[in-house]
Structure 1
Amino acid sequence: MVQQNVVVFGGSGFLGRAIVQRLVKAGNRTVVAARHPRVARCPEATGAIEHRAVDVRDDASVARVLQGADAAVNAVSLYVERRDLRFADIHVDAAEHIARLASQEGVKALVHVSGIGVSTDSASAYVRARAHGEQAVREAFPQATILRPSVLFGPEDAFLANLKTITRLPVIPLFGNGSTRLQPVHVEDAAMAVARALETPLATGQVFELGGANVYRYRELLLAVMEHAGRHRPLLPVPFELWKLLAALMSILPNPPLTHDQVILMQEDNVVGDGANTFKDLGIEPCDLMAMLPRLASSDTAL
């Protein structure tokens, strides 16, 4: 990979940190662009990392950090709306700002991280915003590469940590009957996909759906987490309509543990679609979550 100056928006997040480390190890000078940037954990190459405070909703702030950049990565995400911050603010407006200004600043390559299952017709405001964001990016920066990972896992992730919390309950509530299919992606594989997209000319302007080595049903994942934790709990199917009611009641809380959008997401399979470009097209063999559970289970922070 030719050394580049790469700006990673959202570089202090779970995926963003992995992307920064991957890019730096490949010899790139990398800017962590975030509203509250934290030190990227890559001690062997700290001199190649610059931290810049950036508000992705502000054109001037975004333009300044893009000056002199060869490439940019948008890994900014918002999973729960607040009164002062909506999905469209981040996934549509901010995504458009980054793509448009990257084009204006002469940035040669842009990787935009979205998610599997995006649709403008979705009942989920989160999914609709992701879809509209992709459209805005494509209009502003036609040659952008769009990556759509499934749910991410890895050390200190939210996905496995939430499963661990749920399996501590005396009875484990399922979303529906627990048959929703997921294709969990290791965060390091997703980060490698970003690096490969920047160095692979054939990836320019393409969309890639990133799923892990295998597909699992939600109940399978819960049972596996319980097995590795040495727990045995009964599983209780809960209708989605009841989950939606619970989410509506919790919506009055400042930080609700469950939202309407999260319930909707659990009603739909989150797997790679037929005919999509995948990890294989980027020369990557993705990890399998089940194969990595023993190692992750040894870390209290991960499982």
Structure 2
Amino acid sequence: MNVLVTGGTGFVGTHLCAELAARGHDVTALARSPDDTGLPDGVTTAVGDVTDYASIEGAFEGQDVVVNLVALSPLFKPKGGTSHERVHLGGTENVVKAAKAHGVPKLVQQSALGADPNGPTAYIRAKGSAEQVVKDSGLDWVIFRPSVIFGDGGEFISFTKSLTTPVVTALPGANSAKFQPIWIDDFTPMLADAVEDDAHVGQIYEIGGPEVLTLGDVTRLIYRAKGKSVTVVPVPMALATLGMTMAGPLPFVPFGPDQARSLRFDNTTSQNDISAFGVSERELTTLETYLSENQ
């Protein structure tokens, strides 16, 4: 099967391309500046920016499935004058247009938990609007809504570290917002299954890991894996929101009001759909296990 992965040299994309190649598929990784260092032999790269239709259109010729992974991080302010709407919504519109122009029958879309055109953050709103584009496309589609994904090359752990200081740390939303982290090597086989098996067509899957953790929990696990302890002092969200809003316009500050709002709601599944892929939570890797083996 010929599979095009947009965002194919990013965190999820690199792991997915390796999974698909190992299953015997012909894989093309599309990216603005593709770096094939993390890709296995045999994976082809293509240059293209999903916000520029003309730059990506040719890569869709002869493909059987496209997996759309291109995304901006919800954890940091968008850089370089771009926006969540432009990348997630506009990019998805271009991906759908190119797929239809070249007769690609199937699209697997990575969305986000809580995706909603009327949601509380620009990221969530853009993801929700993009989902509607996919559902209205006339293509065979599968939509994934994962919680935060961790693993080699991921940013969730480094993001948490960037918020903390050794020994004693003040932490916004330390005990409020909850996450359900899933290991990248548990997640990508599910994406690959959706590529291969048309039984998943027309489904929206909420995917999370085996445990629900607060940001404070995650911080303590990171330090414990290094044999250290840390005291977490929760910062009231009203104060954190004020601080991030005031500092947001400064170009060197990576957080803004949208990031503060994202810490006000949970990033957990209403019903973990991993069972649709023959997986149970007891088989999944916990964040603590990953950290103990990799930190």
TM-score normalised per structure 2? 0.92
Amino acid in the other structure paired with 1:282: F
Choose 72-81 or 217-226, whichever is displaced more: 217-226
Contact residue 167 and residue 225 of structure 1 kept, 8 A: no
2:180 to 167, 180, 183: 183
**Deviation readout 1:182-235 (Å, 9 max, x if unpaired):** 100111222111100011221011111110112122222222222222223322
Residue deviations 1:284-303 (CA, integer Å, cap 9, x gap): 34322222221122xxxxxx
Counterparts of 1:258 and 1:178, CA distance in 2:
19
Structure 2 CA distance for partners of 1:111 and 1:76, relative to 1, 3 Å: same
Tell me which residue corresponds to 1:37: 34
Query: 1:123, CA displacement in angstroms?
Result: 2.0
Match of 2:206 in 1: 209
259, 273, 280: which is aligned to 2:275? 280
- Superposed, 1:82-161 pairs within 5 Å as 82=79, 84-161=81-158
Q: Does the Cα contact within 8 Å between 2:29 and 2:46 map onto a contact in 1?
A: yes
For the 8 Å contact 1:167–1:233, the answer to whether it is kept is no
Question: How far apart, in 2, do the equivalents of 1:84 and 1:216 lie?
Answer: 33
- Specify every segment of 5 or more residues in structure 2 that has no aligned partner in the other structure, as ranges: none
Identity among equivalent pairs (%): 29
Matches within 5 A, 1:169-248: 169-248=166-245
Task: Tell me the number of residue pairs that the alignment of Structure 1 and Structure 2 aligns.
Answer: 289
Secondary structure, counterpart of 2:36 in structure 1: coil
State the AA in 2 paired with 1:259: G
How far, CA to CA, are the matches of 1:61 and 1:99 in structure 2? 14
Equivalent position SS for 1:197: helix
Matched to 1:60, the amino acid is: A
Q: Distance in 1 between matches of 2:37 and 2:65?
A: 19
| More off after superposition, 250-259 vs 106-115 | 250-259
Provide closer, same or farther for how the CA distance between residues 178 and 209 of structure 1 changes in structure 2, counting only shifts above 3 A: same
The answer (yes or no) to whether the contact 2:106–2:139 under 8 Å persists in 1 is no
Larger displacement relative to structure 2 (219-228 or 196-205): 219-228
Q: Which runs of 4+ in 1 moved over 4 A?
A: none
Aligned partners of 2:240 and 2:12: how far apart in 1?
28
Instruction: Check the 8 A contact 1:100/1:141 in 2, yes or no.
Output: no
What is the match of residue 301 of structure 1? none
Could you tell me how far apart the structure 2 residues matched to 1:255 and 1:218 are? Answer: 23
Superposition pairs for residues 59-98 of structure 1, below 5 Å? 59-79=53-73, 80-82=77-79, 84-98=81-95
Check the 8 A contact 1:100/1:137 in 2, yes or no.
no
Shift of 1:40: 4.7
Q: Output the amino acid matched with 2:137.
A: A
Query: 1:268 is aligned with what amino acid?
Result: F
Note the alpha carbon deviations across 1:96-147, whole angstroms, 9 max, x for none: 1102321231112210001111122222111111101111121124421001
Superposed CA offset, 1:44-87 (max 9, x none):
xx1x2111110212222222000011110100001232362111
User: Which deviates more from structure 2 when the two are superposed, residues 245-254 or residues 198-207?
Assistant: 245-254
Residue by residue over 1:243-265, the C-alpha shift from the partner in whole angstroms, topping out at 9 and shown as x without a partner, is 12221233223242222222111
Q: Which stretches in structure 1 are left out of the alignment for 5+ residues?
A: 298-303
Secondary structure of 2:5's partner?
strand
Q: Which amino acid aligns with 2:84?
A: F
SS in 2 for 1:208: strand
| d(CA) in 2 for partners of 1:214, 1:86 | 31
